[in-house]
Amino acid sequence: MPNRSTEMGEEHNNMEEFSLQTANNLLILAIGAFFVPLLCRPLRLPASIGEILYGILVGPYVFKLVELDHFCSLIGELGFFLLLFSAGLELNFHSIENSGPKKLASMGGIVAIIFAASYLCALLFQLQPFVVMILAAISIGLPIMLLQETGLGKKPFGQQVLIVGTIGEFVCIVAATFIAAWNTSGGFNAVFALSAVKMLLIFALAYVLLAILRSAVWWHPEYFGRVVAAHDPSEIGVRAGMALMFIMVAAAIHLGVDAILGAFMAGALFSYVFRAKGPLEMKFLSLANGFFVPVFFIRVGLEFKLDMALKSDWKLLFLLFISMLAVRLIACLALWDASSPTWSCRFKEALTASLILAAPLTLLVVFGNLGLKMGVITESFNAAVILLAVVSSIVWPFLFKLCVPWVGQKD
């Protein structure tokens, strides 16, 4: 019979080994989170792309420096929630409300045409239905950075891009949640109807929280002034945002709805209620982008199946790569509100807008993971989606910057 002290000694050694592994993993992740953006800047690469590549390098296929454990996976999951919360926080409700019904309908129409054209592409090339979400994915994160970098963010062209991106990202998140429910229930049946009701309950909860928060801010501005204060020792605003995020995530999970909707809705709620959120938004972005979101993207690289990606159907990848731009160009040519009535200027603005919207890095990664979790795509196809996300987020933004003079002088 084993000695009790021997068992305790073995348990202690296992804990030390686990702690050492975790410490080494955190060290390598922290080094990557710090150095990757510094290296990406002169290369003009988005930091998130560099972080995925760094994860591939230190992962099991190259240097084998990191063995992803539960603790590091948990940090990556928190980074994932903060990424979606930040996406909701970046929604510009001022631009949406000030754009007017006509322009808002036009920008919403662009999103609708992108989805319709993506569906037709999937039918034309006989691709699986989930590819529609890949082709139609619209993410606002990278376009915001590119618009700020090029000085187009405050100009009419940039504002239109932001409105399309805002509507598109919201529609994509909601559509992905419905697709997950449809896949889980196996079609249109009582189970799916129950899932739809649960999703409506999430929106109802969001509406109730919105009403409570707006009323509280209206009647007690002296208390809620601390939430958006630039200097607050207790950082009440950050705590409130984190609490709201976890409330919505927990509600979504308890209702059996995908957590991405809860995290995104929390950010959107916060953005809608606290319009003058300048300092607070910077604090959230600092918290998220300073460590947790980079760890999420590094984890994506660690889990990236390099061998499967190299065996991908390169013709299919090229087809998806070109189709992502084509569906956006069709939509923008149809409804883009150009600053000049001439066809050449209209085409240039539509092409430039299509290029900036054709790099939905964040949502491609999210949708790839979601499709894998639902079982509608294979690990090799998920690897191909991540590879597509990396390539599109390098090529299309580079071409967008070349086209900036076409729109920068006219807005």
pLDDT by residue (tens digit) across 136-179?
Answer: 999 887 887 788 778 787 788 888 888 898 888 888 988 888 88
Whether 97 shows a pLDDT value over 80: the answer reads: no
Residue 410's pLDDT is 47
Weakest mean pLDDT among 281-290, 298-307, 335-344: 335-344
Whether 411 shows a pLDDT value over 50: the answer reads: no
Residue 7's pLDDT is 52
Contacts of 168 (CB under 8 A, 6+ apart): 111, 114, 136, 138, 140, 357
pLDDT band at 321; cut points 50, 70, 90: very high
Structure tokens at 124: 């034309």
293-to-75, 228, 241, 269 alpha-carbon distances in Å: 9, 22, 16, 20
pLDDT by residue (tens digit) across 356-407?
Answer: 999 888 889 888 888 888 888 888 888 889 899 989 988 998 899 889 888 8
Angle between helices 190-219 and 236-254 in degrees, nearest 10: 160
Whether 12 shows a pLDDT value over 60: the answer reads: no
pLDDT band at 16; cut points 50, 70, 90: low
301-to-53, 254, 265, 373 alpha-carbon distances in Å: 6, 30, 27, 17
pLDDT by residue (tens digit) across 214-255?
Answer: 777 677 666 665 555 656 666 777 888 888 899 989 988 888
Whether 73 shows a pLDDT value over 80: the answer reads: yes
Residue 330's pLDDT is 95
Count the residues in the chain. 411
| Contact between residue 159 and residue 124 where contact means Cβ atoms under 8 Å apart | no
Whether 122 shows a pLDDT value over 90: the answer reads: yes
Q: What are phi and psi of 181, to 5 degrees?
A: -65, -40
Closest listed residue to residue 362, CA positions, set 81, 147, 116, 150: 81
Structure tokens at 138: 């619209």
Residue 320's pLDDT is 94
